[in-house]
Amino acid sequence: MNMSQKMTAEFLGTLWLVLGGCGSAVLAAAFPEVGIGLLGVALAFGLTVLTMAFAIGHISGCHLNPAVSLGLWAGGRFPAAQLLPYIIAQVAGGIAGAGILYLIASGQEGFSLAGGFASNGFAEHSPGGYSMLSVMICEVVMTLFFLIIILGATDERAPKGFAPIAIGLGLTLIHLISIPVSNTSVNPARSTGPALFVGDWAVSQLWLFWVAPIVGAILAGFIYRYFRPAE
């Protein structure tokens, strides 16, 4: 596959992740009487990655996340020369997904971005009121284990064909743990899209949801090198 094809796949995949995951939170989580709640939102995020892993994994690797690309690079599984194009495509896809979601959500009378639009935050903007330090630790650790799952499930020594299931369920579990803490990022592109529409506090706090996932992912990449077979 050429780089244009890979970037298009990453753009579409990240768009789907934000539209499906954040869309479930904005449109369906608290829908009267039949809302899907936290469990449903967590599952939606996992399903977006699972479905796209099967759809575009053979095209681009289905990173959908700058932290994943950087973690794979740190683990010796992705070339540095492709990092910038991948990250550009992922962020653009995240913004496009949030834009489509905004067009849908704003069609309802009384819609307001004051509800947060599924943005990530800390302190008063954390769903559970968790401090900046708590959110930072949570995002680093959750992303670290997400990358351990990805690196392990896609290792050539792992059972073949099951990686999308492990990765999708792993992301679901991560959301079940951390939605109350940070609204769950573990993905700078996912955080950037909604934040740009909310502006204000969401943009001012966005730095944490770039720094923490990237730190966690890079740590995971270096840690996973320990499990490489002896040369």
List the structure tokens of 215: 């730190």
Q: Mean pLDDT for each consecutive 10-residue tract of the chain (231 residues)?
A: 95 98 91 79 97 96 98 96 98 98 93 92 96 98 98 93 96 97 97 96 97 98 89 59
Nearest Cα residue to 193 out of 99, 106, 62, 111? 99
The residue segments making up the domain with residue 36 are 3-227
Looking at residue 52, its pLDDT comes to 97
Query: How many CA atoms does the CB half-sphere of 98 hold within 13 Å?
Result: 22
Spatial separation of the C-alpha atoms in residues 132 and 182, rounded to whole Å: 9
Tokens 């053979």 locate to: 58
Contact 41, 179 (CB under 8 A): yes
Phi-psi region of 186 (alpha: psi -120 to 50; beta: other; left: phi over 0): left
DSSP 159: P
Q: Which helix (H) or strand (E) holds 134?
A: helix 132-153
Spatial separation of the C-alpha atoms in residues 119 and 216, rounded to whole Å: 20
Task: Name the residue type at position 63.
Answer: H
Looking at residue 1, its pLDDT comes to 81
Q: C-alpha angle with apex 199: 173 to 214, nearest 5 degrees?
A: 40
Spatial separation of the C-alpha atoms in residues 172 and 153, rounded to whole Å: 15
Looking at residue 31, its pLDDT comes to 66
CATH number at residue 173: 1.20.1080.10
List the structure tokens of 76: 């010796």
Residues in the chain: 231
Contact 98, 20 (CB under 8 A): no
Burial class (CB in 10 A: 0-12, 13-18, 19+), 96: middle
Looking at residue 230, its pLDDT comes to 67
DSSP 33: T
Contact 86, 66 (CB under 8 A): yes
Looking at residue 34, its pLDDT comes to 66
Say how many domains are in the chain. Answer: 1
Spatial separation of the C-alpha atoms in residues 223 and 123, rounded to whole Å: 30
Tokens 């040369």 locate to: 231
